[in-house]
Amino acid sequence: MLRVVKHVQGPFLLRNAACLSTAALPLPKTDVQPHFKKIFINNEWHDAVSGKTFPTINPSTGEKICDVAEGGKPDIDLAVKAARDAFKLGSPWRIMDASERGVLLNRLADLIERDRVYLASLETLDNGKPYQMSYFADVALTVKCLRYYAGWADKIQGKVIPIEGNHLCWTRHEPVGVCGQIIPWNFPLLMQAWKLGPALAAGNTIVMKLAEQTPLTGLYVAQLAVEAGFPAGVLNVVPGYGPTAGAALSEHMDVDKVAFTGSTEVGHLVAQAAAHSNLKRTTLELGGKSPNIVFADADIAHAVETSHFGVFFNMGQCCCAGTRIFVEGKIYDEFVERSVERAKMRNVGDPFDPNNEQGPQIDESQFKKVLEYINIGKNEGAKLLIGGNRSGDKGYFIQPTIFANVKDQMKFAREEIFGPVQQILRFDKMDDLWERANDSMYGLAASVFTKDLDKAMMFAQNVRAGTVWINMYDNFDAAAPFGGYKMSGHGREKGEYALEEYTEVKCVMVKVPQKNS
Residues that bind another protein (CB under 8 A): 99, 102-103, 106, 144, 147-148, 150-155, 157, 168, 453-454, 457-458, 461-462, 478-479, 496, 510, 512-516
If the CB atoms of residues 383 and 451 are measured against another protein, the closer one turns out to be 451
Least Cβ distance, residue 375 to another protein (angstroms): 40
If the CB atoms of residues 34 and 151 are measured against another protein, the closer one turns out to be 151
Residue 249 · residue 374 · CB < 8 Å: no
If the CB atoms of residues 98 and 384 are measured against another protein, the closer one turns out to be 98
Least Cβ distance, residue 141 to another protein (angstroms): 11
* 463: enclosing H helix or E strand: none
If the CB atoms of residues 27 and 456 are measured against another protein, the closer one turns out to be 456
If the CB atoms of residues 74 and 229 are measured against another protein, the closer one turns out to be 229
Least Cβ distance, residue 100 to another protein (angstroms): 11
Of 478, 475, 477, nearest to 15 by C-alpha is: 475
Please report the beta strands in 358-488, taking only residues with DSSP state E, as ranges in sequence order: 383-386, 401-404, 421-427, 445-449, 467-470
To 10 degrees, what angle do helices 216-228 and 188-201 make?
30
* 39: enclosing H helix or E strand: strand 39-41
Least Cβ distance, residue 479 to another protein (angstroms): 5
Of 377, 369, 423, nearest to 398 by C-alpha is: 369
Least Cβ distance, residue 229 to another protein (angstroms): 16
Least Cβ distance, residue 97 to another protein (angstroms): 9
Least Cβ distance, residue 473 to another protein (angstroms): 19
DSSP 488: G
**β-pairing verdict for 503-511 and 167-175:** antiparallel
Distance between CA 138 and CA 132 in Å, rounded? 9
Of 159, 230, 154, nearest to 499 by C-alpha is: 154
If the CB atoms of residues 353 and 496 are measured against another protein, the closer one turns out to be 496
If the CB atoms of residues 144 and 209 are measured against another protein, the closer one turns out to be 144
Least Cβ distance, residue 150 to another protein (angstroms): 7
DSSP 28: P
Please report the beta strands in 105-252, taking only residues with DSSP state E, as ranges in sequence order: 167-175, 178-182, 205-210, 235-239
Distance between CA 190 and CA 138 in Å, rounded? 6
Give the number of other Cβ atoms within 10 Å of residue 271's Cβ.
17
Of 66, 59, 138, nearest to 362 by C-alpha is: 59
Across the strands, what pairs with 208?
Answer: 181, 237
Distance between CA 189 and CA 481 in Å, rounded? 18
Residue 402 · residue 341 · CB < 8 Å: no
If the CB atoms of residues 15 and 64 are measured against another protein, the closer one turns out to be 15
In three-state secondary structure terms, 58 is strand
| DSSP string over 427-448 | ES-STTHHHHHH-SS--SEEEE
Amino acid type, 231: P
Least Cβ distance, residue 453 to another protein (angstroms): 8
If the CB atoms of residues 99 and 365 are measured against another protein, the closer one turns out to be 99
Of 51, 52, 49, 54, nearest to 74 by C-alpha is: 49
Residues 6+ apart with CB under 8 A from 444: 286, 287, 288, 290, 319, 320, 465, 466, 467, 483, 484, 485, 488, 489
Distance between CA 290 and CA 305 in Å, rounded? 17
Catalytic residues: 285, 319
Distance between CA 136 and CA 119 in Å, rounded? 12
If the CB atoms of residues 152 and 185 are measured against another protein, the closer one turns out to be 152
Least Cβ distance, residue 264 to another protein (angstroms): 27
